[in-house]
Homo-oligomer: A and B are copies of this chain.
Amino acid sequence: MTNKDEPVRPEARLPKGFSDISAGEIRATETMLATIRGVFESHGFEPFDTPALEYSDALGKFLPDQDRPNEGVFSFKDDDEQWLSLRYDLTAPLARYVAENYQNLPKPFRRYQTGPVWRNEKPGPGRFRQFTQFDADTVGASSVAADAELCMLAADTLEALGLKGQYVVKVSNRKVLDGLREIIGLNDQKHDGRWLTVMRALDKLDRLGIDGVCALLGPGRKDESGDFTKGADLDRASIVTLTSIFEPVEDADEKIAQLDLRLRDSVIGQEGRKELEKIWSLVATSSYDDGRILIDPSVVRGLEYYTGPVFEAELTAPITDERGQPIRLGSVVSGGRYDGLVERFTGEKVPATGVSIGVSRLFFGLQRLGKYKVSVAQGPVVVLVFPDQPIENYQRLVNRLRKPDDGGPPIRAEMYLGSGKIGAQTKYADKRGSPCVVIQGGDEHAKGEVTIKDLILGATLTSIKDRDEYLKKRAEAQFPVPEQKLVEAVRGVLSRHKA
């Protein structure tokens, strides 16, 4: 029992895996989101938003034999005993919306959505429990032309963000994997678990290399720490068949021909091959076959709900951390076809395909590549305050800047509101990145004057050796003007330091 009379002082701390976001980062992210929005809009997608919370069963994470919904999501019970969860992606809420409103939607329905998603997972370096996604989906279109369009949308977006030549979009098809499953004889439902082990193994090429993957497809693998992971126990021939998807073939047509040969005896596999062929034809027609988009059967994608084409984009430019160590960033865009997600609710198949940008991860990558720099924006003009003068005078000055009567745009300005002396007030203005401060002591007020002090120019004064030059610059950096000329004089300083 806690003693209620004793005041409990909570510790001020951010929850693990979450972060506060600074002004510079917010401004840079906004710019980035606006660019993405522009590309998505040009492709005909319309904005749409869903709330942060959904009924847990609608998210498909509810397991009826557990007391709580599945791990990985943040969930809690409502007053009326229903489980609610914070969305873990933007696709599941879209499926809920489409199932609920299918009759009234234009078909196909094309929407984009951006916002935070939450994962109740162990946080780690660069691994947050709240992060932003930016999705576009086309619902009600079964043609693979819709998938091809999304691959091109991904390429257009990355290019608009300044990544020309520094990314690649890789396309595969779940049906190709399904065909391989058929061919190695794991088609029966009773092999579902084993097949999942296979998929997970194939998805680890990046981290484990081909030998690691083969070990996981076979008896299993011991990692550096000595821990042993049991494998899928496949025979040699099956492993060769499966890992053929990793065979490097430069030419897309050749790669498709190779798939054709390998999937000769699988109907589903042939379907996948044909869809890849069609996507490639559309990509080539639109001249994205110049290395920006590749056919790559090794794309697996973790999510289980994909039913056809799958794709992911990664940055090809090497990315390093603060200490110059290379970082494996993973895919920054991913997506695919999920024809069964609406069916979960309605029992009727609704074809759908979508693409998701991991905004937080991509932003991190762009930062490391020196794009979308987080910079401190120019701060407001600060009107300094002498404690022996009526504060009303300073309020009048700051109002004049915010609502200038010269017909020009408002000037960002604030009156100093703390209790520091003039020196501390100037330091505050410096810390805020203010271009200049406005000073009016008693004498100046009596003369109807103000002094403008250019902080940016002022900071350069000490480096001037020549005395005449110094005096000239000092006069430019700090000068009195009649109060009537305040706006004009401040505008002068601002234009002096325009980026």
Contacts and interface: CB of A to CB of B under 8 A. Distances in A.
Interface of A: 1-2, 4, 8-15, 18-23, 26-27, 41-44, 46-55, 57-58, 60, 62, 64-65, 74-76, 78-79, 82, 84, 86, 95-97, 99-100, 106-108, 110-111, 116, 118, 120, 122, 129-130, 138, 140-143, 145-146, 148-149, 152, 156, 281-282, 285-286, 344-347, 377, 379-380, 382, 391-392, 395-396, 399, 402, 410-415, 417-420, 428, 431-432
B26 A99 contact: no
27 contacts: A4-B64, A4-B65, A9-B345, A10-B58, A12-B97, A13-B55, A15-B51, A15-B82, A42-B402, A42-B410, A43-B412, A43-B413, A52-B52, A52-B116, A53-B118, A53-B130, A74-B76, A74-B84, A79-B122, A107-B418, A107-B420, A145-B417, A149-B395, A152-B399, A282-B391, A285-B395, A286-B395
A98 B145 CA distance: 51
A391 B15 contact: no
Contact of A55 (B15, B149, B399): B15
Q: Can you list the 4 inter-chain pairs with the closest CB atoms, starting with the nearest? A: A44-B414, A12-B99, A44-B380, A141-B417
A285 B64 contact: no
Contact of A49 (B20, B79, B108): B20
Contacts of A402: 42-43, 156
Central interface residue in A95, A347, A417, by most chain B CB within 10 Å: A417
A418 B140 contact: yes
A377 to B, nearest CB: 8
A119 B52 CA distance: 12
Contacts of A146: 417
A428 B49 contact: no
Contacts of A55: 10, 13, 15
A142 B410 CA distance: 27
A51 B391 contact: no
A379 B44 contact: yes
A279 to B, nearest CB: 11
A48 B26 contact: yes
A478 to B, nearest CB: 21
Given A54-B15, A55-B15, A282-B395, A431 B44 contact: no
B13 A417 contact: no
Given A23-B48, A395-B282, A418-B140, A413 B346 contact: no
A23 B8 contact: no
Contacts of A49: 20-21, 26
Nearest to A20: B50
A64 B2 contact: yes
A432 B82 CA distance: 36
B395 A14 contact: no
Contact of A286 (B62, B95, B396, B410): B396
Nearest to A380: B44
A387 to B, nearest CB: 10
A352 to B, nearest CB: 11
